[in-house]
Amino acid sequence: MIDQDFILKSYNSKVERGSVKWSSPSNIALVKYWGKRKNQIPENPSISFTLSNCKTITEVTYTKKKSTEFSFEVFFEGEKNEAFKPKIQTFFERIESYVPFLRDYHFNIETSNTFPHSSGIASSASGMSALALCLMSIEEDLGVDYADDYFNRKASFLARLGSGSACRSIEGELVVWGKNKSTESSDLFGVRFDGDIHSNFKDYQDAILLVDKGEKQVSSTLGHKLMYGHPFAKERFLQAHDNLDKLKDILSSGDLKEFIKIVESEALTLHAMMMTSMPYFILMKPNTLEIINRIWKFREENNSNICFTLDAGANVHVLFPKAEESKVYDFIKSELVAYCQNGHYICDSVGNGAKRL
Ligand code: DP6
């Protein structure tokens, strides 16, 4: 499919008002997206587990209007929110040619997260995917009839233009984004991983340890830009392709030891890219490293399959098979919680994607 396939050509502009509501999850990448080209095209493919509990719930009410300016208000957790508006304005500008009714209506966007706002958890994946899905449902209200497949693809295509990783939040349980030789995928939208998934990876657990709940010093958007002219960029992009090929086989064979190697190496490589860009920066905190070392020790001593991954921040995602759930939570409570800000962590697991409410 190409960009043009996502342009909405005609719709019933007589519809006066309506309301749609979606819940959309966050996701955690196993092979990381870091570096992009113009129009939110990723430099390398990525794959993620869709999460289940960390979600954004968004309701959009639309009312026909006369003026041709974009018009919208945002309410976050019940309160009017000005801070989110510029990002949504940019999103509307980027997607306008695919969703031409944006100027015909005023939108009231009411949104809330199931996870604490100041948790350092990126809400852009769940937030932008929920908004994209609402716009897709409005398209349907305006009389466009979509097959499920196309609906999800266009929702993911639009979400990508809001935030790259958001395109991996529409479906579950594993989603691939970015062209590569081993899976059916596209640079324009995320698709469900089409390979076999061994039972070891069913219902995989993710305990998110909140090490630092503050705003991070360097945004992902800036971090992506620093991959231009980065001395290791070329090798890194090739490595991501290679890791995705390997992960495809691992997901089908159920080899947990090999899974751990790829996932931890991807997390550390992501942070190594940050530390070797110009300007360089470090998003890990001393407690991030403390937790990583304790995970390694616990794994060694208990013959466990626990491992970690990181996104662009200090928080640690602790990944483990369902079968180890009680053992790992005992470990988290007795040892790791001491390194979390105010002892906070979130229990999550792999989920099935967004839902219309
Ligand atoms: C480190 O999707 O937040 O989480 O496209 O600029 O919105 P933008 O960036 P974003 O980048 C996320 C990067 C990551 C890795 C990943 O999720 O693959």
- β-pair partners for 172: none
* Stretch 315-322: mean pLDDT: 97
What is the number of the ligand 1 atom nearest to the C-alpha of 31? Answer: 18
Q: What is the overall mean pLDDT for the chain? A: 95
Q: Which residue has the higher pLDDT, 80 or 123?
A: 80
Q: How many CB atoms lie within 10 A of CB 329?
A: 17
* Stretch 265-271: mean pLDDT: 98
Q: Which residue has the higher pLDDT, 218 or 298?
A: 298
| Structure confidence at residue 122 (pLDDT) | 67
pTM across the whole model: 0.96
pLDDT confidence bin for 319, thresholds 50/70/90: very high
| Structure confidence at residue 25 (pLDDT) | 97
Q: Measured from the CB, is residue 183 less than 6 Å from ligand 1?
A: no
CA distances from 355 to 240, 344, 351 (A): 30, 27, 11
> How remote is the CA of residue 33 from the centroid of ligand 1, in Å?
6
The three-state (H, E, C) secondary structure of the chain, written as one string: CCHHHHCCCCCCCCCCEEEEEEEEEEEEEEECCCCEEHHHEECCCEEEEEEEEEEEEEEEEEEECCCCCCEEEEEECCEECCCCHHHHHHHHHHHCCCCHHHHCEEEEEEEEECCCHHHCCCCHHHHHHHHHHHHHHHHHHCCCCCCHHHHHHHHHHHHHHHCHHHHHCCECCEEEECCCCCCCCCCCCEEECCCCCCHHHCCCEEEEECCCCCCCCCCHHHHHHCCCCCCCHHHHHHHHHHHHHHHHHHHHHCCHHHHHHHHHHHHHHHHHHHHCCCCCCCCCCHHHHHHHHHHHHHHHHHCCCCEEECCCCCCEEEEECHHHHHHHHHHHHHCHHHHCHHHCEEEEEECCECEEC
| Structure confidence at residue 183 (pLDDT) | 85
Q: Is the model's pLDDT at 172 over the cut of 70?
A: yes
Q: Measured from the CB, is residue 44 less than 6 Å from ligand 1?
A: no
| Structure confidence at residue 119 (pLDDT) | 64
Q: Of all protein residues, whose CA lies closest to atom 12 belonging to ligand 1? A: 165
CA distances from 206 to 29, 58, 87, 148, 307 (A): 12, 24, 28, 29, 10
> How remote is the CA of residue 149 from the centroid of ligand 1, in Å?
24
| Structure confidence at residue 182 (pLDDT) | 84
What is the number of the ligand 1 atom nearest to the C-alpha of 312? Answer: 1
* Stretch 271-281: mean pLDDT: 97
pLDDT confidence bin for 152, thresholds 50/70/90: very high
> How remote is the CA of residue 159 from the centroid of ligand 1, in Å?
12
Q: Which residue has the higher pLDDT, 31 or 216?
A: 31
Q: Is the model's pLDDT at 341 over the cut of 90?
A: yes
* Stretch 332-345: mean pLDDT: 96
pLDDT confidence bin for 217, thresholds 50/70/90: confident
Cα separation, 132 vs 95, whole angstroms: 10
| Structure confidence at residue 1 (pLDDT) | 84
| Structure confidence at residue 120 (pLDDT) | 64
pLDDT confidence bin for 193, thresholds 50/70/90: very high
> How remote is the CA of residue 125 from the centroid of ligand 1, in Å?
8
pLDDT digits (tens, 9 = 90+) for 106-120: 999 999 999 877 666
